[in-house]
Structure 1
Amino acid sequence: MSEMIPGTAAEQAAVPAPAAPADLAATAPEPPGPEPLGVARTATGSTEVDTALERLADADGLPVDGHLEVYEDAHGRIRAALEDLDRRPGPPAPGAVRG
């Protein structure tokens, strides 16, 4: 069996090189952008909480690396609303003695 001898340098140079990754990126379609999830929100009756939940919709138009800021803001607003509830006096506990 005879050994294959590669072509001359001139013959090898005539063969086009495979496309470089940069060339492929220029022709590849762009990945789809962010799309809203379309999750319906039900009003809670608390203006503060409803405003915080509406803030989450801002993440729909942002790339993923922008979501954290929106989530942290909404979390902080909801936490503040809950802490405010803890500060309000409520009805006496069942069985509590009134003075």
Structure 2
Amino acid sequence: MSDSVPEAGPRTEATVPQDEPAHDPAYDPAAPAPLDVSRTATGHPEVDALLERLGDADHLATDGHVEVYEDVHRGLRDALTALDARPGPPAPAPHPTTPQ
């Protein structure tokens, strides 16, 4: 039995351990990546469109997310405000005509 350690040869893709990803020069961990968060439809077309707009942030760098989030927040706030808007005063009832 020998106490010497054999020389390590060059690492090839076949010898890369399973828990260590192979080096891909095109891989950029800082690049935008989709979050793949599912969005459930609400049944309100305006709100659903705003929620889908959140998906636009998936393809932007982090500093671009703020614009999308603020746009969606403004739209959702407007939709909620519209629910609180009260209709104008009721129309006056028509006067019944009396036969003469």
Residue identity in the other structure for 1:31: D
Q: Distance in 1 between matches of 2:60 and 2:86?
A: 37
Work out the percentage of aligned pairs sharing the same amino acid: 62
Aligned mates of 1:47, 1:86 — CA distance in 2: 18
Structure 1 residue 49, shift from structure 2 partner: 0.8
CA distance in 1, matches of 2:36, 2:75: 22
Indicate which of 25, 34, 37 corresponds to 2:35: 37
The alignment partner of 1:73 has SS state of helix
Q: What amino acid is aligned across from residue 79 of structure 1 in structure 2? A: R
Q: CA deviation at 1:67?
A: 0.3
Q: For 1:14-54, what per-residue CA distance to the aligned partner results, in whole angstroms no more than 9, with x for missing partners?
A: xxxxxxxxxxxxxxx66321111111110011111111101
- Structure 2, unaligned stretches of length 5 or more? 1-24, 88-100
Structural RMSD (CA): 1.5
Q: Distance in 1 between matches of 2:50 and 2:76?
A: 6
- Within 5 Å, give how 1:85-96 maps onto structure 2: 85-88=83-86
> CA separation of 1:88/1:49 partners in 2, compared to 1, >3 Å: closer, same or farther?
farther
Normalized against structure 1, the TM-score is what?
0.57
Greater helix proportion: 1
Give unpaired runs (5+ residues) of structure 1.
1-28, 90-99
Aligned length: 61
Does 2:58 match 1:60? yes
Q: Decide which moves more: 66-75 or 44-53.
A: 44-53
After superposition, where does 1:1-99 map in structure 2 within 5 Å?
31-32=28-29, 33-88=31-86
User: Which 4+ stretches in 1 moved above 2 angstroms?
Assistant: 29-32
